[in-house]
Each structure stands twice: as structure tokens, then as C-alpha cells.
């Protein structure tokens, strides 16, 4: 039985808490949040498990908790997350976080990464960032699919999702039902963010293959506009307004584009799928028909990574350093 | 630069030696075989690299070699392989082997496995069995694809290959161009073997998911007979004669079949592919269109596993204990 502290009791934290309760390998040993409206409440009441008897506390309570690991789902802002992780590590907890930039922090935030690595090693614990994407579909899985290749020339990944089937905050994040001007303004000012983590996935693939890229670039997301009235979780979208977005990122080496990632999410997308193509000898053409749903996938990959993080040697790790990810009972 | 001894210089050993020469991470530090016709020869002359200057020697020379790891491709017979591995381990070499039964030896040969594990730990080295199948497509990859699942009810894997595109020994092994009676007699007396390793893949999947199976059974292979004159590497096969085989294996738990593996290889098979289906929440439907070619795949997975074995803690490991498999430069 692995004792887990749920750090962050928002939408994702609650889904993770629910998944932990549904599995026989885990026990919720504590819950932490900053929201005064839920501090003091039994976390069970937030996840359809009344009477669980685990109070939501502030992070000052971390050092009083008897646990093995922390699942941290507070924010995507790495410096904030790093401070929170630091507090968990000081107490001696392994940490698994959904913070996108933590999935491969060595390129964008090498200083923060080096400090976390040093701290984790000094306390004998493991820290890892994961999720469905970044963390699995667009980095770990393409790397794994390169194992049967004698030669790899290029890696291409496409994720195509019908956003109308995702949770509302995701539909908001990709600018659903905004007019094109408004969409572009909100992308520019950061009030909608699009997908976060394409560059982290490129950095992870390059590191895993031992490739030194000349450059890695993410293009500004482009809106996808409704061609006809389209239902969404944010109302029916009139033709000409945004139903979602397309994001791409490319890694180049020796004048060639060797890593290409494409992320498309919009309401009403047909033929959802996750595609990985490896150009090489032999070439690999993989499709996951129907795609992997983002929310369930993130919860599952995160929870299923906890035992792998606990087994791993101490330090700040990425998914490629851990034993193969897999379902945990 | 990882210094590798090629132990076994048959068809597979030579392909592996060639792959090692083509990569910048490896150097061939020695070659071992029992065949008096090649002992004393430069292994380079066997792999289109004349002047390599690495003589094929008997395994008595192992202790004189300066190397990091051994790739062992001698035989599928585990007790013989275990003795050879023992000699490598005594010298302090990590060992990666294509022996099918070594890919998950804990169920069929627990005594041999425990002894190898103890020996490897005492010498501080890692031993692992791998290959495309068993080792990757029908065990490691399905396990990895369970990572985005909250719940796993069943795992189904199908490998469909056009054997006419494979090397001749493979086409012989599946009884190509035999009359049905002859095919059945040769399968019964073991002079043709079909695919080896379906049960190892079932054991590996069950272990990885923490499932205790009630039973795991492999059915006797069935011949696939030509419906019309069919070209093969063993001549044109008349209608009614064997063009290949179908093998299946099933793992059961709680009265349900929870792991199903199907291996089909015959001359002229259309739509080659590798399919993995996970029944669960969410379900996963993966297809590798065109499939992964067996020979190149085995060479690649084996060579690409060497760095992972070297990094791993000591002992007898399986692929699920190592860091994620991936291409090595």
C-alpha cells in the first residue's frame, strides 16, 4: 500500500484522488490546497467518498503527514511548482507532478532543474513530471517506438482530438467560441494558453535519442474556425468563430526537420487519433484509433507513475529514466 | 563507447555485429563461437567489415577480453544459455540475450532464474533477455500502452506477418511448403518449432500488471494451407500445402480470458500489422501498419537495450525493470 498526499485539490487533483481511491495499491495519506473554501474539509467529500477522514490542509501540514509520495497538480508555472516540490522533498516524499514544464525541465529551466536534482538526491527521493502530454503520447511513446529501429532519421507525432468531448476548462483554454480577433488577442496576452509542452516533448525526444538539435521552435497556435454551426461545451459556435486550435513545433538538425509535432484540438473533429511515424530502418507507422482521452489519460499516467518514481534512484528524473510506464492495480 | 562481445556468430549474431559497427556508441571488443570453421577468423570478414581485427574465439577467451557487455545469440535452450551467461557474468560482463525463454524466465524456469539473479547480483552485473518478440511487441509494448488506463480488463495482441519477406530459416521454422501430414509430424517431433515465446509474453504482461493468472495456455500451432499456388522463400507452394502457421496463447483469471495473443505468419499474408487492444477505461486500440519486421526488429531491440542493461541495477532483469527502450545512436 503506497501512501500518497494529494497536493492541489482542483479539477485534476480531485480526479487523481478518485483514481487513487479506486485502486488497491494506494491510500490517500493527506490532502493539501491553498483554497480557504476547502481547507478543513474532508477531501472525501470532494471526490464522492464521504467519511474518508482525510482533511484538506495547507502545505504547512506536509511535515506532519506520514506518506511515501506526493502527487502535485497545483500550477503549470515551474518556479511556483519548484518551491512546492522543494517543501515535499525536504520532508522526504517522492514527487510526481503534472506540471508540463517539469516533464523535461533541463532545457528551458536548467538552473531550477539542477537545484531540484541536487535537493532530491540529498534527501534520497525522486521527482518526476508526467501526464498524457507532455509525459507520454508525444515523447515517451515515440521514444519507445524507436527501439525496433536500426536507424532513426525523423520522428513525427500528431494528436487529433475532438475538444467538445473534453472538460470545459480545456475548451476554454483553446479559445472555443471566440471571434477570431478576440481569440488572437487572448492568445497574445496569455489569457488563453493553448497546449503547453510541445517544446518539452521535443527536448525529451532529442535527449532520448542522443540528438543535439540546432534549433527547436514552437509556432504560435492558429485558430481553427467553424465552417458551419458547431456544437461545443461552450455553446453552439457560429460559422467563422473559433472551435479550437492547431499548434506545431519542430526540431531541426543538420538543416533537416527531424522532430515534428502537431497538436490539433477542436469541437467536432472527426476521426480522433494519435499518430506516431518514425522515418528510419525499419520505418514505424503507429496509430491509436480514437486517440487517448486527455483527462483520463493524464490521471492514469500520473497515478501509474507513482510506483515507478518510488522504485527509481534519487534525483530529478524524466519518464525516460524510469522503468517502463504501465498500469498499476 | 560501449565495448561489446558478440557471443554466437550465426545469422543473428552477424546481423547484431553489423548493427554494432554501424552505430557510434559501440565497439566490438570480441567475438565468440563454437564453430571450428569460423574460430580464428576475423569476425569482420563475416560482416562485410574486413580488417576489423577481432578474431572469433571460443568462450575460453572470455576472461581475456576487455569489454562492458556481451550480446548472446547462441541457442533458445535456456539451460545451455544459462551456463554461457554464467561464464560471462563471472568475468563481470552485463549480458543481453535473444534467448526467448530468458525474456521472462521466472515462471517456466524459476530455479534457473533465481540462480542467475543471485550470480548477477554477486558480480554487480545485469542480465536481460529481449528481442522483438518476445521482448517488445507482444509484452513490453502492451504493458506500456496500459499506462494511460485507469482500469485494465483485458489485453489482446495480434502479430500478422508475411513470412515470404522473412529470412529462410524463419520460413523453415514455420513449416513452409510442407504437406499437412508432414507439417503436423514435424511440429510434434519438434523438428519445426513455430514461434517460441508466447507464454513468456503472457507471463510478462501478467507480472507487469500485477495479475495472478489462474492459468496460461498455449495452443498447438495450426498450419495455414495455401488456397492457391503461393510464392515463398522455399519455392512456390501448391494449393493444400502449408504456407505458415497460426499460434495462440491465452491467460485466464476469474473465469475470463484476460490476455490473448495471436501470432500469424504465412507466405502471401496481406495487410501485415501489429495490433494491441486494451479493454479498459479508456480502451486503447493501437495498430502498427505494415508491422515491425522481425529480423531488423530483433537486432535493433537487442542492440538498443545494451545501454539500458548497463545502467540498470545488478541482477536478472526483464524489459519491464529497465528504463524505457529506445534507439541508441
Domains and CATH numbers, chain A: 2-130+296-321 (3.40.50.720), 140-291 (3.30.360)
Q: What is the pLDDT of residue A251?
A: 98
> pLDDT band at B117, cuts 50/70/90?
very high
Q: What is the pLDDT of residue A80?
A: 87
CB atoms within 10 A of CB A273: 16
Which one of B141, B151, B292 has the shortest CB-CB distance to A282?
A: B292
Q: What is the pLDDT of residue A191?
A: 86
Share of chain B above pLDDT 70, in %: 100
- Order of strands across the sheet that contains A2-7: A56-57, A26-32, A2-7, A69-72, A94-97, A126-129, A315-317
CB atoms within 10 A of CB A188: 10
- What is chain B's length? 329
Which one of B211, B292, B299 has the shortest CB-CB distance to A284?
A: B292
The burial of B248, by beta-carbon neighbours within 10 Å (0-12 exposed, 13-18 middle, 19 or more buried), is given as middle
Q: What share of chain B is helix, strand, coil (3-state, %, to 5)?
A: 35, 30, 35
List pLDDT tens digits, range B232-282.
Answer: 999 999 999 999 999 999 999 999 999 999 999 999 999 999 999 999 999
The phi and psi torsions of A129 (rounded to 5 degrees) equal: -105, 135
In the predicted structure, residue B194 carries a pLDDT above the cut 90: no
Q: Is B296 on the interface with A (CB under 8 A)?
A: yes
What is the rounded CA–CA span in Å between residue A146 and residue A196?
A: 24
Q: What is the pLDDT of residue B146?
A: 98
Q: Are A76 and A101 in contact (CB under 8 A)?
A: yes
Which one of A149, A296, A329 has the shortest CB-CB distance to B327?
A: A149
Residue of A nearest to B320 (CA): A324
Nearest to B322 by CA among A69, A325, A2: A325
Do A320 and B323 make contact, defined as CB atoms within 8 angstroms? Answer: yes
Residues in B touching A282 (Cβ below 8 Å)? 292-293, 296-297
- Of the residues B326, B328, B329, the best mutation for testing chain A's interface (the one with the most A CB atoms within 10 Å of its CB) is B326
Q: What is the pLDDT of residue B191?
A: 86
Distance from CA of A294 to the nearest CA of B (A): 9
Residues in A touching B329 (Cβ below 8 Å)? 209-211
Do B148 and A324 make contact, defined as CB atoms within 8 angstroms? Answer: no
Q: Is B136 on the interface with A (CB under 8 A)?
A: yes
Whole-Å CA distances, A87 to A61, A91, A111, A132, A315:
11, 7, 18, 25, 15
Count residue pairs from A and B with Cβ separation < 8 A: 149
Classified as helix, coil or strand, B65 is: coil
Residues in A touching B319 (Cβ below 8 Å)? 324
Which one of B136, B285, B326 has the shortest CB-CB distance to A288?
A: B285
The burial of A181, by beta-carbon neighbours within 10 Å (0-12 exposed, 13-18 middle, 19 or more buried), is given as exposed
Do B144 and A144 make contact, defined as CB atoms within 8 angstroms? Answer: yes
Residues 6+ apart with CB under 8 A from A199: A107, A108, A216, A218, A249
Mean pLDDT of A53-76: 96
Sign of CA dihedral B113, B117, B120, B122: negative
Which one of A296, A321, A323 has the shortest CB-CB distance to B281?
A: A296
Nearest to A14 by CA among A56, A41, A43: A43
Find the Cα–Cα–Cα–Cα dihedral B142, B144, B145, B151, rounded to 10°: 100
Residues in A touching B138 (Cβ below 8 Å)? none
Nearest to A39 by CA among A20, A57, A26, A24: A57
What grid cell was written down for A33? 490546497
Amino acid at each position: 500500500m503506497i501512501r500518497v498526499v494529494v497536493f492541489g485539490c482542483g479539477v485534476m487533483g480531485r480526479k487523481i484522488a478518485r483514481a487513487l481511491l479506486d485502486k488497491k495499491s494506494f491510500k490517500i495519506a493527506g490532502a493539501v490546497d491553498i483554497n480557504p473554501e476547502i481547507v478543513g474539509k474532508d477531501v472525501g467529500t470532494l471526490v464522492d467518498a464521504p467519511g474518508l477522514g482525510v482533511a484538506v490542509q495547507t502545505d504547512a501540514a506536509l511535515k506532519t503527514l506520514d506518506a511515501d509520495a506526493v502527487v502535485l497538480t497545483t500550477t503549470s508555472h515551474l518556479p511556483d511548482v519548484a518551491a512546492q516540490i522543494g517543501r515535499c522533498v525536504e520532508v522526504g516524499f517522492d514527487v510526481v507532478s503534472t506540471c508540463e514544464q517539469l516533464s523535461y525541465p533541463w532545457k528551458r529551466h536548467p538552473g531550477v532543474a539542477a537545484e531540484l536534482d541536487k535537493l532530491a538526491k540529498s534527501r534520497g527521493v525522486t521527482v518526476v513530471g508526467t501526464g498524457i502530454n507532455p509525459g507520454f503520447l508525444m515523447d515517451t511513446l515515440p521514444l519507445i517506438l524507436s527501439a525496433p529501429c536500426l536507424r532513426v532519421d525523423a520522428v513525427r507525432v500528431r494528436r487529433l482530438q475532438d475538444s467538445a468531448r473534453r472538460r470545459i476548462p480545456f475548451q476554454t483554454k483553446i479559445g472555443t467560441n471566440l471571434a477570431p480577433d478576440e481569440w488572437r488577442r487572448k492568445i497574445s496576452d496569455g489569457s488563453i494558453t493553448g497546449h503547453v509542452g510541445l517544446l518539452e516533448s521535443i527536448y525529451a525526444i532529442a535527449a532520448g535519442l542522443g540528438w543535439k538539435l540546432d534549433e527547436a521552435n514552437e509556432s504560435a497556435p492558429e485558430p481553427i474556425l467553424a465552417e458551419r454551426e458547431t456544437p461545443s461545451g461552450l455553446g453552439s459556435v457560429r460559422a467563422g468563430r473559433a472551435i479550437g486550435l492547431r499548434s506545431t513545433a519542430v526540431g531541426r538538425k543538420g538543416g533537416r526537420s527531424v522532430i515534428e509535432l502537431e497538436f490539433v484540438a477542436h469541437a467536432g473533429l472527426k476521426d480522433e487519433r494519435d499518430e506516431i511515424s518514425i522515418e528510419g530502418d525499419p520505418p514505424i507507422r503507429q496509430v491509436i484509433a480514437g486517440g487517448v482521452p486527455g483527462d483520463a489519460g493524464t490521471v492514469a499516467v500520473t497515478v501509474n507513475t507513482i510506483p515507478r518514481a518510488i522504485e527509481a534512484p534519487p534525483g530529478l528524473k524524466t519518464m525516460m529514466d524510469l522503468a517502463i510506464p504501465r498500469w498499476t492495480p
